[in-house]
Amino acid sequence: MTVIIIEDEIPAGKRLERLLVEKNITVFTILQSTIEAVNWFRNNHHPDLVFMDIKLRDDLCFKIFKKVEIQSKIIFTTAFDEYALKAFEYNSIDYLLKPIAVERLDKLFVKIKNNNLLNTNQNDLKTLENALQVEFKTSFLVSTGSALKKIVMEEIVYFKSENNTTFLTTKDFKSYIISQSLELLENQLNPKIFFRISRKIIINKNFIKQISNFNLTLTTINISDDFKISRSRVKAFLEFYKQ
């Protein structure tokens, strides 16, 4: 496995290089600015991975992507989490907060290995997806007075837990009580479509219109609930949303 490090803090760059070399990973070079990085990518074979600090000495690293098309997988590193949303617009597979813990680095490489992130092509992914298909709920039966109504998943905007009661809300702004807890729903819902953004809410990805400062705006109107992503769930949400 080959790597380059883009980091303007020399001690941080050297420490990361040492940790990678200890894992028998080849580190081609350490670059400290966007200008250096653009020139390097234009004149060298791109490595498997790039560890890229977001705030560099001359600009934000995102400037690099405007100048050159990077073939490598990107791992963003930063002491701040304010750029997390923007970072996941690029070809990134992880987002590490500095100082990078050895245990966190270990988890990254387990993730790369287990998911074959460096070599898997789209056909492989489709084959794997078909092999691992799981049966998820496709509808709910809800009570409407003396009758029962079937609601298919495509109509559900979100689930909410409130006062020990779980509600589902549909795209026509109607809410219904269901018996399942959010914990149980997490195992019943398709994880490619539904995500638990907070302790109280599971959202349907297809109704998300915009993300701003970790707040979601939905395509539906007349819904006033708070759709803020919990900070502890931001990284997992970004990985879910970009799929």
Q: Provide mean pLDDT across the span 60-74.
A: 91
- CATH 2.40.50.1020 assigned to domain 139-241? The reply is yes
What is residue 111's predicted lDDT score, i.e. its pLDDT?
85
Q: What is the mean pLDDT of the chain?
A: 85
What is residue 214's predicted lDDT score, i.e. its pLDDT?
79
What is residue 213's predicted lDDT score, i.e. its pLDDT?
78
Are the beta carbons of 28 and 6 closer than 8 angstroms?
Answer: no
Distance of CA 151 to the CA centre of its chain: 29
Examine the pLDDT at 51 and tell me if it is beyond 90: yes
Q: Which class is 2-129 in CATH?
A: alpha beta
For 71-118, the pLDDT digits (tens) are 899 999 987 766 666 666 676 888 888 888 898 899 888 888 887 777
Q: Provide mean pLDDT across the span 23-49.
A: 93
Are the beta carbons of 204 and 187 closer than 8 angstroms?
Answer: no
What is residue 239's predicted lDDT score, i.e. its pLDDT?
84
* Amino acid present at 23: K
d(CA 26, CA 20): 8
Q: Provide mean pLDDT across the span 166-181.
A: 92
Q: Provide mean pLDDT across the span 108-129.
A: 63
Examine the pLDDT at 209 and tell me if it is beyond 50: yes
Place of tokens 């009580």: 177
Residue 206, Cβ density class (10 Å: 0-12 exposed, 13-18 middle, ≥19 buried): middle
* pLDDT band for position 170 (cuts 50, 70, 90): very high
Q: Provide mean pLDDT across the span 124-148.
A: 67
What is residue 232's predicted lDDT score, i.e. its pLDDT?
82
* pLDDT band for position 186 (cuts 50, 70, 90): confident
What is residue 236's predicted lDDT score, i.e. its pLDDT?
85
pTM of the predicted protein model? 0.52
What is residue 223's predicted lDDT score, i.e. its pLDDT?
65
* pLDDT band for position 52 (cuts 50, 70, 90): very high
| Residue extent(s) of CATH 3.40.50.2300 domains in the chain | 2-129
Examine residue 99 and say whether the peptide bond preceding it is cis (omega within 30 degrees of 0). Answer: yes
d(CA 81, CA 87): 10
| Residue extent(s) of CATH 2.40.50.1020 domains in the chain | 139-241
Q: Which residues pair with residue 208 across a beta bridge?
A: 218
Which residues are CB-neighbours of 131 under 8 A, at least 6 positions away? none
Distances (CA, A) of 72 to 24, 68, 191: 19, 12, 27
